[in-house]
Chains A and B, each alone.
Chain A
Amino acid sequence: MIESFIGMGQGFLIAFTPQNLYYCFLGCLFGTVVGVLPGVGPLAGISLLLPATFGMPPVSALIMLCGIYYGAMYGGSTTSILMNIPGEAASVVTCIDGYQMARKGRAGAALFIAAWGSFLGGNISVLGIALLAPVLADFAVKFGPAEMFAVMVMAMMLVGYVGSGSVLKTMCMVMLGLFLGTIGMDTMTGYLRMTYGIKELADGIGFIPVAMGLFGIAEILSSTQDTLVRDVLKPKLRELLPNRDELRRSWGPIGRGSVMGFFIGLLPGAAHIIAGFSSYALEKKLATHPEEFGTGRIEGVAGPETANNSATGGAMIPFLSLGIPSGPATAVMMVALLIHGIKPGPLLIQENPEVFWGVVASMYIGNVVLLILNLPLVGLFVNLLRIPFKLLFPIILTICIIGVYSIDASTMELWIMLISGLVGFVLRRFRFDVAPLVLALIIGPMMELAFRQSLMMSGGSFAVFFGSPISLVLLSVSALLVLTGLARPLLAGRRPKTNP
């Protein structure tokens, strides 16, 4: 533990040089812009700036790239709240209650709490890294395909919680999402599934075009049917900040979200995207009035946003401690390290402690920088909502199109977004909640891959899922979730009889 404090001290000394502060700020700024633009994610930002880092000392380069990663997480919530467009997987759940808050005139409060929660979540995760990195790194490696499957099963259980409305409708959406997730090339065999000869579909139906279509485009289409009372909103300064009640209700979700997000972020692979909606599901479960989720509850923003940022920190642990990237963005950061001659791996903390601790310290500084960047911007962003809708919608549409096209320069993805928009419009009319669809689309393929890898390794024996303590625990939790879900209506049905 003492070494951690010494290391952090060393790290702060490195991170606080004017040069590194400058790079940190630059990275955060760029990351925020990248995050606000839907479709363009941290991967694109990091890739773009990577060549620019070549002349820089390794620590500075990594500080800047991490800043982008972090900034993108902060920025992603902005479009989710203001325009119901998720910038990336992590922000999908923020759309649900965040956007409703914006419709009720509480956009400022939502943005503020999102920024504040992200800050606290990020700090807790930095603390976690500093204190627990060596211990936790080994933990991450224990997650093989069987354990990942168990995680995904639990995640799917939680997806059910995210949906509002009737259970049957949520199930339909989940099934549709799972189905869409099967389209594309199968990782295990290389066979093309349901692509009908369309080469661009070989990589599957990306969730970003689908999410942007179902959320953003469908929103625009639906709004043509509303009588637009929203124009009249003129937010006052006081209304920009969360009121006392909202603040009070946010502490719990923030606290729970940071811890939960951190540990979920540790999981290898892109598992950290489930941090957001895991937190949402948890908050909904703990709430006294869960049916109000989806109408604009601050807990539905505070929890997920905190968990997202915390998961980002957690995801850095396998990367920094073991040299194992936990997703495309950290993979590129690993390439950046290699290019600078630093070998990521367990020896990083010994051979290049200044890199390890410098990066960790700069994550903390990055959090502060981002908070300072985002809070004043809240007023600016909220004022964006005052733009008359007939101007705002074309802008949103343009941003969506540019965002989706920037991912892969693929017109197929534009078509997918458009079709999803139409489908989303219809689904809304019939009161289907589309969030479970997107989440199932993300988790389904991951779950299937882990399932088949596990069976391949075990030679077809299902015992592999009950072999390790980790997967056993997770599967039990999933079973518990199902049972408590069934038990509640049973108990509720019984209560009127026992109470006179």
Chain B
Amino acid sequence: MSRRVALLISLFVVMVIAAPISAQEYPTKPITLINPLPPGGTLDLQGRAFAAVVEKYLGKPMVVVNKTGAAGAVGSLAAAQAKPDGYTLCLGWSAQTALIINEILEGRKPSFNIDDYVVLGRFTDSSPVFLVPYNSPWKTIQQAVDDIKAHPGAYSYSSGGIQSISHLPMEALIVENGLKLKHVPFQGGGPAFTALIGSHVQCSAQYPGTSLPKVKAKQLRALAVFSGQRLKGYEDVPTFKELGYNVFHSSWVGLVAPKATPAPIVEKLRTLVKQVTKDPAFVDVIEKAGDEVDYADAEKTRQAWSKEYERLQKLLSRMEKQK
């Protein structure tokens, strides 16, 4: 047979063989995990812990890359547009949803959407804590809310940035109770904490991992938690619901990949998330940081994500109206 036909046939054979082999042998090189938020925050901690532990199971390293900008939009967009070959993954988190909704509310077509990703699994689902400086005159939520209502516009809270996971819970509280509390955004959780500790702002909603050491050190005091049930490490702090306030916020962190990633690779990654979240090394790190591992498989995560989309849509619409 002619050389050309032979060449074509061998090419075809190679391609046929190559496809499944690439999934079986995946990964053959290091994987990039995009973190769309700045380093040092909750997302960063969990992402890096995951990346470190997963190497055991993968055989190849996973490298975390902070691709920051626009409250996470730049990194999320990059992940949505990345080559869907399983070598670029991204951290998904609840405020990402808020970014999408915000763009819609502003009349723009969002640059990326939930459907641009395939969900791999969830690591944690945590709720923030309402914190005040240790020497604050507010000793209970009731006092805080009453004081804020009595002096509208006199107090402010710090957050890690617009649409961040420390901004939205406070807005939920504000919108629900008709409070006039000023929002002072900072660039990341670190500066937000500094402002709170130094009493430059009067309150802030931050997460257990980063806040627990400061509460233990008597720099800050926790008045309530935004979760449905009391949090580990904060057992003596009531939930907003217990105190009669209809305020709830939870923030999940999980793993996603570009939508078109091939199915065998997606399956492998989903199994990986399950394995790593059970791995004692990973659990240890998360718990030492004050969080709890709360694995949810892809399907459950996806449903929760859709539900959250609705919840945040309501919240953000109300925020728009109150502006």
Q: Which residues of A approach B to under 8 Å, CB–CB?
A: 43, 47-48, 50-51, 54, 140-146, 184-185, 187-190, 192, 199-200, 202-204, 268-269, 318, 322-326, 328, 330-332, 334-335, 338-339, 341, 343-347, 408-409, 449, 453, 456-457, 459
Contacts and interface: CB of A to CB of B under 8 A. Distances in A.
A331 B183 CA distance: 23
22 contacts: A43-B66, A47-B66, A51-B48, A51-B51, A54-B52, A141-B197, A190-B163, A199-B74, A203-B70, A323-B213, A324-B193, A324-B194, A325-B40, A331-B39, A332-B40, A335-B39, A335-B44, A338-B209, A339-B288, A339-B289, A346-B219, A453-B184
A268 B194 contact: yes
Contacts of A409: 65, 67
B61 interface: yes
Nearest to B111: A199
B217 A347 contact: yes
B161 A187 contact: yes
Given A185-B70, A189-B162, A456-B182, A322 B195 contact: no
B48 A202 contact: no
B156 A344 contact: no
Given A51-B52, A190-B102, A268-B191, A328 B73 contact: no
B26 interface: no
B11 interface: no
Contact of B156 (A202, A341, A457): A457
Contacts of A346: 217, 219
- Most interface-central of A202, A204, A449 (chain B CB within 10 A): A202
B137 interface: no
The 9 A-B pairs with the shortest beta carbon distances in the complex, nearest first, are A331-B40, A203-B69, A144-B200, A202-B70, A345-B213, A343-B213, A190-B162, A141-B198, A341-B288
Nearest to A335: B45
B144 to A, nearest CB: 17
B68 A142 contact: no
Given A202-B69, A345-B213, A457 B52 contact: no
B320 to A, nearest CB: 12
Interface string B273-312: 0000000010011001100000000000000000000000
A449 B158 CA distance: 13
Contacts of B200: 144-146, 457
B169 to A, nearest CB: 17
B69 A185 contact: yes
A323 B209 CA distance: 12
Given A187-B161, A202-B69, A324-B197, A456 B48 contact: no
Contacts of A185: 69-71
Interface in B174-198: 182-188, 190-191, 193-195, 197-198
A408 B39 CA distance: 13
B39 A145 contact: no
A423 to B, nearest CB: 23
Contacts of A190: 71, 102, 162-163
Nearest to A51: B52
B162 A449 contact: no
A338 B184 contact: no
Contacts of B67: 408-409
Given A51-B61, A335-B40, A335-B44, A457 B182 contact: yes
B154 A459 contact: yes
Nearest to B41: A331
A58 to B, nearest CB: 11
Interface in B127-161: 153-154, 156, 161
A338 B71 contact: no
Nearest to B63: A48
B293 to A, nearest CB: 14
B201 interface: yes
Nearest to A445: B187
Contacts of B285: 338-339, 341
A344 B257 CA distance: 33
A50 B190 contact: no
Contacts of B315: none
B217 A345 contact: yes
B265 interface: no
Contacts of B190: 324-326, 331, 334
B284 A188 contact: no
Given A47-B64, A51-B61, A347 B73 contact: no
B77 interface: yes
